[in-house]
Amino acid sequence: MRHLAPLVRGRRIGVVEVHRSRVVRPDRPGQVCRAIEGARILGLARRAKYLVFRLQSPGGDRELDLIGHLGMTGRMYVQPGSAALPRHCAVALTLGGRRLVFEDTRYFGRLTLDVSVLEGLGPEPLDEAFTPEVLAAGLAGSRQAVKVRLLDQTVVAGVGNIYASEALFRARLSPMRLAGRLKPVEIGRLWEALRSVLDEAIRFGSTVPLDWAGMGGRDGLFYYGSAPGGGGSYEERLSVYGRDGERCPRCGGGVRRAVQAARSTFWCPGCQRG
């Protein structure tokens, strides 16, 4: 969102090319195109994992939101209007002499005018309103494993599979602990870990130019290469995620992988007790 906002703010949407109709909702053909062609982008916001394009309608008489979700492999970027579209281009929006490209190899992403997808989302973890007490209320009474609970978007909005594992590692809590059985001190550690892990990831991403040249063929992860500050690659920054069998950076023990709710969890049994 921070990379994209300055590239799209204030621009008018011209031709909309839908190359994968399943990505666009509602799925009445042309309905979304008619609503947004000629609209002006007032700004870009984010809610949980959704991008929210604030639009002024083509007639200029009202405002509407266009909501995007990148799924697992989606990317959005702006390229010259003369540049060829990528192989898995789902949608392209003409913006003056350039095009906003929504590329998504697996087509799990979404572009929709249906704002109801935002209903029921829990608090933003970096908001002031998200206190340890709010997190505690979201975990209380649950018999789910805390890792699974963190992926529930009604409890905390925007925490995904990678950062759920990373936050639990930082909080030194086993992902298998039952959410409702955590003590206030442990919830406090988890709250702090969630916020610092996400904050660092955002700051890391913000230091890197959004330049996709030469990145064709990669998946949707932000493999930035070396950060300007010399922080290593995205993967190198992760402590446990994707590191099954490697050594724990804290205690030197072995990182393990398990499956919870059909998703991979990575943790260090030495550091993360219970």
The answer to whether 19 contacts DNA (rule: CB under 7 A) is no
Which residue of 79, 144, 196, 233 would you call a contact of DNA, by CB under 7 A? Answer: 144
Site for DNA in 59-118 (CB under 7 A): 69, 71-73, 87-88, 105-108, 117
Dihedrals φ, ψ of 198, to 5°? -70, -40
Per-residue tokens: 200 = 């660092």
Nearer to DNA, 12 or 88 (CB): 88
The Cα–Cα gap between 139 and 146 comes to 8
Q: Could you tell me the smallest distance in angstroms from the CB atom of residue 238 to DNA?
A: 10
Nearer to DNA, 39 or 194 (CB): 194
The Cα–Cα gap between 240 and 163 comes to 10
Q: Which stretch binds DNA (CB under 7 A): 38-46, 127-135, 156-164, 198-206?
A: 156-164
Q: What single string gives the DSSP state of each residue in 30-95?
A: THHHHHHTT-EEEEEEEETTEEEEEEE-TTSS-EEEEEEE-TTTEEEEEEETTSPPPTTEEEEEEE
Nearer to DNA, 162 or 187 (CB): 162
Dihedrals φ, ψ of 225, to 5°? 75, -155
Residue showing tokens 């982008």: 41
The Cα–Cα gap between 155 and 120 comes to 9
Residues recorded for the chain: 274
Nearer to DNA, 22 or 203 (CB): 22
Q: Could you tell me the smallest distance in angstroms from the CB atom of residue 64 to DNA?
A: 19
Query: How many residues belong to the site for DNA (CB under 7 A)?
Result: 34
Rg (CA), the chain: 20
The answer to whether 193 contacts DNA (rule: CB under 7 A) is no
Which residue of 148, 198, 238, 271 would you call a contact of DNA, by CB under 7 A? Answer: 148
Site for DNA in 113-132 (CB under 7 A): 117
Site for DNA in 210-269 (CB under 7 A): 217, 219-221, 257, 260-264
Return residues touching DNA (CB under 7 A): 22, 48-49, 69, 71-73, 87-88, 105-108, 117, 142-145, 148, 151, 153, 160-162, 217, 219-221, 257, 260-264
